[in-house]
Structure 1
Amino acid sequence: MRRRSLIGLLSVGAAGLVAYARSASASRIRAFPNRASRENRHEGTEAWRVAGNVSDTARQIQGYASATSVNAGESLDFHVTVAEPQPFTVTVYRLGHYRGAGARLMHTSEELAGRPQPVPVPDPATGLIDCGWPPAWTFQVPGDWTSGLFLAVFESRDGFRSSTPFVVRNDGRRSDLLVVIPFTTYAAYNMWPADGHTGKNLYRGYRPDGSVGGQPERAFQVSLNRPFAGPGSPSWFKLDVAAVQWAEATGYDVSYASSIDLHQGRVDPGRHRALVFPGHDEYWSGAMRDVVENAVRTKTHCAFLAANNIYWNVRVEADPRGVAGRVVTCYKDDPDPAPDAVGPTERWRSLGNDRERAEARLLGVQYNGILHEPVPLVVRKAGHWFWAGTGLRDGAEIHGLVAVEADGRYRALPTGYESKQVLLSRSPYLDRMGRGEKIQNTSLCQTPDGTIMFCAGTFHWPLALVESKFTDVRIQRATRNLFDRMVRR
């Protein structure tokens, strides 16, 4: 088995680690044709990985897509800047397993005329940085492309490379699993341009001396009309890539959408057995949450494979040119000048009466802290079907699996729907913010009709599914147990 790095940290291999899953994959219980499995039989390539040779100061080549997703057969614009006028190309890759290579080369543009584009001045009231650059290339996505997570790689003639992700949808078909990529959270963390004086996100911005400030310097609005900082990989993108590659390697029938699609009503839970939220998915509009609440009511399972989900309420708004779904607004602890029917853009747990909109009311658990360092996940309820075939016992420890941020159960916050909750882990950790010992819980809630709401409750869960320093075949098996159960209904 060859070892490969995935965006600096994560390997894209795992063929050997998930080979056992192929013989017992979801194919025997699948209801619809599996286009993703057929797609992954194509030859892969490792050329999709982008080295960090681009900076937000020099801006050798950077770009963004005009939308977070596009239906197969429709077109997508790419907006690109270069440091010096010169030709460049755009190469499009579909991410998946592809026998361990991690992606397939789908299309390469002709040489395009590259021109420098300006860095906008942040809006003085909201901090919004919206590029509004003209399209540099319009790409007509072939109608026969399989839905997936894609990467557009920009390469200048002088050898600099950067990228931006997007989703291709297949709106006309059903699938067992719909994987929703968290672009609203990507936007919230994007600091572009991280140049020492201009960039802002929903957490911080630059002080006059060039140091990174906090709440006084941050933005209240962030735009998707700008590159992702550096070489173009969004914050915690590796979690989403890991989950995508594992699901496709294991043989599930998968299709894809973005969180903007969730917001704009393009996701019908009834067309899928389960909705899968693969990574860090913190920023949610009321419309996004409504879809998931409807999914639980209409017997569509949900799985959240990381932690700190549905934490901030946001508005998803139009950009300055009137294009819907391109601006994420969140005032957090500052006064929101224009709350909508959901309420001000603050923590979900602060909305409603008696914390009725707290994230645990939907998820079963919610964010409870930031870890000082990774700790073991301590197994609980080892006799549950979730842990079947793993060989684990109560109290067994899975090294380093609980990390970055964690979720836990709040006894005073039962789900807002009838369900039976099983806590599959009970992992003590020290909170980095000095709030003492906390407990992480992996949670599975099941309604009387069998609908499952699963929350892993830790950032490292997706990394355990693929070849990485956190790989664990027991987590792979448990996750397969979960997905197989969801696919069976």
Structure 2
Amino acid sequence: MAIDPMSEGPGPAISPRTRARARHILDYYYIGPARDDRVLEIWGYSDRMTYAPGDSVALHVSTTAETWELEIGRDGVAYEPLYRAKGLTGRHHPTPADCSVVGCGWPVEHRLTIPSDWRPGGYLVTFRARRGDDAVEEHHLILVRRAPDLPAAPYLLVCATATWVAYNCWGGSNAYEGIAGPEGNAFSPILSLNRPWTRGFCKLPEGAPRALPDHPPRPGEMVRYPYMEWAYAYGYSKKYASAGWASYERLFARWAEASGYPVDFATLHDLHSDPGLIDRHRCLIFVGHDEYWSAEMRDRVDRYVEAGGKVARFAGNFLWQVRIEAEGRRQVCYKYAATRHDPLMGTPEAHRVTGAWEAAPVNRPGCQTFGANALRGIYAGLGNCAGRGAGYTVYRPDHWAFAGTWLGYGDTLGRESRVFGYEVDGLDLAFRDGLPFATGADGADPAIEVLAMGLAANVEADHGTWGETRYIGGEDAVFRSLSLTGMDTAETRASAARGNGVMIHWQRGKGAVFNAATCEWVAGLARGDLQVDRTTRNVLDRFGGTQD
């Protein structure tokens, strides 16, 4: 979510010039077309994100090499190369300066048909080019769903593609920074899907740091953000740790496949465009950083759950409403500038303004769909934002979700595997007899069961460490204060600086929702945390079967 790329730090120990350079390094690293034939490069994107067997895939590719190669493989427990093409003619196409907003406009350079034996999953598309001793490789991703004439899997993993689009900085702009946008070009409210994914969204080397450091900082140490340092050193987008297949959905897909759970695949954009997509499945699964949704996406999940569907949400930061336009190839979100710049303000469609779900004029708290609110939570384990936590405290250990976990009241879940963060969703809570309850003051159903929780912060703590420059400033707390109270006073800002993250179970209509309300749950699965693993299996076994 971060608004302010950097706080002002503890004082005069850092010069303004040094601080400005650090701000540039941390917040912006250009990845995109060189627009120079002398630079060896290859980039590509597809006409869609999801395909079924028999569908035609159109690849739009631009390269400065005379020839290029293509490889496509299923990115499962083991990578399976399934398609190769070599000696393809290379063409270097002009790219608009504002390609992140209007798209690249490259022609189709290669087509293939999805074979009937390709299994559901994520498929890594590798583009390779060479010039003499120089070689370059870039990546794209497509999803393959089960053929429509085959029985559906009980589980549907819905990839957080609206968040992928929002964080995709390829070509110069995304929803956080760049070359186009209101108020100083801080971000672009309009983003095109007709462009490549930024480096790190589709494939990452082993050992690439996650958003949360592997271990909390020791007292007295300067706060650090290893993923940003790594991205800058190796030429990846720093947003790789915030969104994309490689950091989130891939980890869950590999775990589910290894664990024997039959899973079909779709995107949020599929959910937006196909009202009946989810009805064939018993359980919808959302994982990772899942921040941006359209009203249509929400409407369909709401109806699905009320009619008896189950939702297993191992994801966090359900914050922004978006609009999907141009037949699904353009995404709009004015975010913090929505009330000043979104053209729907002041119209009968003002409820579709692309701001925070909890704020006016949208006024549709996220807890009414998933049982938790983004603006009641936010940062945990990131830098000095509740940086020495990263686990849940268990309050209702007798709940079926914790069966076989050896967890008791007051025990901590997932601290060692760092699952709680980097952004979490929370609730307005009251404690009675040592147990947390949803008050309903934030729009939540008081029947929601809070199983576990942790604390979050919206201002990064200043411990007075010399030379330290912190990433999260005070602007998030200001925005939350204004959104929830309509005021920005010392008292409301102090309240807005504090948050929580909850794990909930909610019997809703004929269906049910389990929400871990954290981005980093998949880290526990990837790191073999037995208690996180057992909790995940408990939820999937119950929701994917015939139990209520």
How does the TM-score come out when normalised to structure 1?
Answer: 0.77
Match of 2:501 in 1: 440
Give the 3 Å change call, closer, same or farther, for CA 59–213 of structure 1 in structure 2. farther
Please tell me the residue identity of whatever aligns with 1:190: N
SS of residue in 1 equivalent to 2:149 = coil
Structure 1 residues 462 and 116: CA distance shift in structure 2, 3 A: same
Q: Distance in 2 between matches of 1:414 and 1:132?
A: 48
The alignment partner of 1:306 has SS state of strand
Deviation at 1:86, TM superposition (A): 2.0
Distance 1:415 1:272, change over 3 A: farther
Check the 8 A contact 2:372/2:444 in 1, yes or no: no
Give the conservation status (yes or no) of the 8 Å contact 2:270–2:277: no
Match for residue 249 of structure 1 among 240, 254, 258: 258
Using the TM superposition, give the Cα deviation of residue 313 of structure 1 relative to its aligned residue in structure 2, in angstroms.
Answer: 1.2
Structural RMSD (CA)? 2.7
Aligned partners of 2:96 and 2:121: how far apart in 1? 32
| Aligned-partner residue type, residue 187 of structure 1 | V
- Given the superposition, is the C-alpha separation of residues 465 and 189 from structure 1 closer, same or farther in structure 2, using an over 3 Å criterion? same
> Over residues 236-288 of structure 1, what are the superposed CA-to-partner deviations in whole Å (9 max), with x where a residue is unaligned?
22111111111111111211111111010164332001111122121111211
Q: Which amino acid aligns with 2:343?
A: P
Change (3 A) 1:213 1:376: farther
- Structure 1 residue 134 displacement after superposition: 0.5
Task: Note closer, same or farther for the CA distance 1:95–1:413 as it changes in structure 2 (3 Å cut).
Answer: farther
Task: Give SS of 1:305's match.
Answer: strand
Q: Does the alignment pair 1:190 with 2:168?
A: yes
Which residue is 1:278 aligned to?
287
Alpha carbons of structure 1 residues 277 and 214: separation in structure 2 relative to 1, 3 Å: farther
Q: CA deviation at 1:129?
A: 3.7
- What is the Cα deviation at residue 215 of structure 1? 6.2
Is residue 481 from structure 1 mapped to residue 458 from structure 2 by the alignment? no
How far apart are 1:139 and its partner, in Å? 1.3
1:304-338 Cα distance to aligned partner (Å, 9 max, x none): 212012x21111111xxxxx110001122232114
CA contact (8 A) 2:325 2:331 kept: yes
Partner of 1:314: 322
Runs of at least 5 residues in structure 2 that lack an aligned partner in the other structure:
1-30, 203-239, 429-437, 461-472, 475-495
Task: Please list the CA deviations of residues 223-245 of structure 1 after superposition, one character each: whole Å capped at 9, or x if unmatched.
Answer: 11111123553642211111111
Aligned AA for 2:139? S
Residues 66/175 of structure 1: CA separation in 2 closer, same or farther (3 Å cut):
same
Alpha-carbon deviations, 1:82-116, whole Å to 9, x = none? Answer: 2x23211111111222xxx3x22121123211222
Which has the larger Rg? 2
Aligned counterpart, 1:347: 356
Following the alignment from structure 2 to structure 1, what is the Cα–Cα distance between the partners of residues 540 and 62?
42
Deviations 1:109-159 (A, max 9, x none): 232112222221228xxx714101001111111123222111111111343
Per the alignment, residue 45 of structure 2 pairs with 64
Which amino acid is 1:485 matched to?
R
Q: CA deviation at 1:416?
A: 7.7
Tell me the matched-pair count.
408
From 514, 517, 523, give the equivalent of 1:463. 523
Gaps of 5+ in 1: 1-53, 194-198, 319-323
User: What does 1:53-452 align with in structure 2 at a 5 Å threshold?
Assistant: 57=34, 60-82=41-63, 84-97=64-77, 101=78, 103-122=79-98, 128-158=101-131, 159-170=135-146, 171-173=148-150, 174-193=152-171, 199-206=172-179, 216-230=185-199, 233=202, 235-237=242-244, 238-265=247-274, 267-309=276-318, 311-318=319-326, 324-332=327-335, 333-334=337-338, 335-338=341-344, 340=349, 342-350=351-359, 355=363, 357-367=364-374, 368-371=377-380, 372=385, 373=387, 375-397=390-412, 398-399=414-415, 400-410=418-428, 411=438, 413=440, 420-431=447-458, 432=460, 433=473, 435-447=496-508, 449=510, 451-452=511-512
Deviations 1:437-457 (A, max 9, x none): 4221111112364x2212112
CA distance 1:96–1:331, shift in 2 (3 Å): same
| Distance in 1 between residues matched to 2:85 and 2:176, nearest whole Å | 36
Letter in structure 2 aligned against 1:149: G
Q: 1:307 to 1:417 in 2, by over 3 A?
A: closer
TM-score w.r.t. length of structure 2: 0.69
Q: Given residue 282 of structure 2, which amino acid in structure 1 is its aligned partner?
A: R
Q: 1:231 to 1:253 in 2, by over 3 A?
A: closer
Q: Tell me the secondary structure at the aligned position of residue 522 of structure 2.
A: helix
Distance 1:301 1:314, change over 3 A: same
**Pair 141,366 (structure 1): closer, same or farther in 2 beyond 3 Å:** same
CA offset at residue 77 of structure 1? 0.8
Q: Name the CA shift for 1:164/1:59 in 2 (closer, same or farther; >3 Å).
A: farther
8 Å contact 1:63–1:78 — kept in the other structure? Answer: yes
| 1:144-193 per-position Cα deviation (integer Å, ceiling 9, x unaligned) | 32221111111113431111111112233311001111222111111112
